[in-house]
């Protein structure tokens, strides 16, 4: 009952790297469980700093009922400090705490930057695969923003077999775009190139945004049959959202924090532009039409992190790769 384990980043990474297909299935299953009411996913909580307005640390508490009557309960604590990039450091860092559902005691601490990136990428892959049934992919893909999330999304699109005949990469930091294009070519076997302008990227049939943009800058509407995976949430101006079919991981969660859909709601005073959720597409309840473009906006649900964290912890235990911290709890009896 009073065991406390730590799973370091290298162990987490190795487990994630060797179970990509299983992770995609876990993420899809978590979306369906959330839709079925088998989760608790409160609002995320943001810690901001007056002298560093671009930086934030976010708490994502959540709980999810898993197969075999298991429950994953805990919280992800993830920081986003864009200034790190100029120092050659990753923008994001994170930990995940898992709690014992019977007692509430913390039972494990996992390095979670990789878990967070992978659950984001897997959600993009699940969405791309689901929408491909209704919007046949042309093979032309573009990604805007060339960081860790973008790299991981590409890996997961390849894992799920999403067609990528040509890949365009755009980033305001040209070196990052070149690095991601080189990674896509050398590591993933794709035909990829860095492009010098946003307009070139917007021509692709499948468009992925993975930036740190705080305010929308894309005003060009989507073409019929075009799919936008709006991963970074604040890239599209409200008129783009209003002219498209819009799907979400969770509607209420996306309508806050001045995301593109939230701005569209503020502009119109309503949510008539909401078409459905990813779960409704997975269940075949809503059918996207190729006559208009589609935007998928995932705010990022903590239940996905918990589902992946539970998987990683279980696998790490099987392999004997957790580190138990003896006497972590100061008192283990009431008297």
CB under 8 Å to 333, separation ≥6 — which residues?
none
CATH superfamily of 121-297: NAD(P)-binding Rossmann-like Domain (3.40.50.720)
* Confidence check: pLDDT of 69 > 80: no
How many CB atoms within 10 Å of residue 229? 25
Output the pLDDT for position 216.
Answer: 97
- pLDDT-derived band at 328, boundaries 50, 70, 90: very high
User: CATH class for domain 5-115+302-324?
Assistant: alpha beta
The per-residue DSSP string of 25-44 comes to HHHHHHHHHHHTT-EE-PPP
User: In sequence order, which residues have a C-beta less than 8 Å from that of residue 10 and are 6 or more positions away?
Assistant: none
Give the tens place of pLDDT for each residue, 136-184. 999 999 999 999 999 999 999 999 999 999 999 999 999 999 999 999 9
Q: Where are the domain boundaries for CATH 3.30.1780.10 in the chain?
A: 5-115+302-324
Residue 1, pLDDT > 80, answer: no
- State the residue for tokens 């930990």: 95
Q: Where are the alpha helices (DSSP H) in 79-207?
A: 113-131, 148-159, 174-186, 198-201
311: its two tokens: 């998987």
For the chain, where do the domains classified as CATH 3.40.50.720 start and end?
121-297
Measured between alpha carbons, how far is 97 from 109 in angstroms, rounded to an integer? 5
**Alpha carbons 226 and 65: distance in angstroms, whole number:** 35
Which helix H or strand E contains 248, and what residues bound it?
strand 245-248
Average pLDDT, the chain: 96
Q: What pLDDT digit, counting tens, does each position of 259-287 carry?
A: 999 999 999 999 999 999 999 999 999 99
């Amino acid at each position: 009952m009073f065991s406390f384990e730590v799973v370091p980043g290298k162990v987490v990474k190795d487990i994630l790297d060797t179970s990509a297909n299983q992770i995609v299935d876990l993420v899809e299953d978590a979306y369906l469980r959330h839709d079925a009411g088998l989760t608790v996913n409160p609002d995320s909580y943001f810690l901001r700093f007056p002298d560093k307005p671009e930086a934030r640390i976010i708490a994502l508490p959540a709980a999810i009922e898993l197969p075999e009557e298991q429950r994953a309960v805990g919280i992800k604590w993830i920081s986003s400090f864009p200034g790190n990039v100029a120092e050659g450091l990753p923008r994001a860092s994170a930990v995940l705490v898992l709690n014992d559902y019977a007692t509430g005691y913390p039972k494990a601490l996992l390095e979670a930057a990789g878990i967070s990136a992978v659950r984001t990428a897997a959600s993009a892959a699940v969405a791309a695969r689901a929408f491909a049934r209704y919007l046949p992919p042309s093979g032309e893909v573009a990604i805007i923003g060339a960081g860790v999330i973008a790299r991981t999304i590409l890996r997961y699109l390849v894992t799920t077999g999403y067609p990528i005949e040509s890949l365009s990469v755009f980033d305001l930091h040209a070196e990052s775009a070149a690095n991601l294009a080189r990674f896509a070519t050398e590591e993933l076997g794709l035909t990829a190139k860095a492009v010098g302008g946003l307009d070139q990227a917007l021509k692709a049939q499948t468009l992925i945004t993975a930036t740190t943009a705080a305010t929308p800058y894309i005003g060009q509407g989507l073409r019929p049959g075009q799919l936008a995976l709006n991963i970074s949430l604040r890239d599209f101006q409200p008129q783009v959202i209003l002219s498209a079919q819009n799907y979400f991981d969770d509607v209420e969660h996306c309508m806050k924090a001045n995301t593109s859909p939230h701005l569209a709601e503020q502009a119109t005073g309503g949510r008539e532009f909401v078409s459905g959720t990813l779960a409704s597409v997975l269940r075949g309840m809503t059918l996207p039409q190729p006559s208009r473009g589609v935007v998928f906006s995932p705010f990022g649900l903590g239940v996905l992190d918990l589902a992946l964290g539970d998987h990683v912890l279980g696998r790490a235990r099987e392999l004997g790769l957790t580190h138990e911290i003896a006497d972590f709890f100061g008192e283990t009896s009431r008297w």
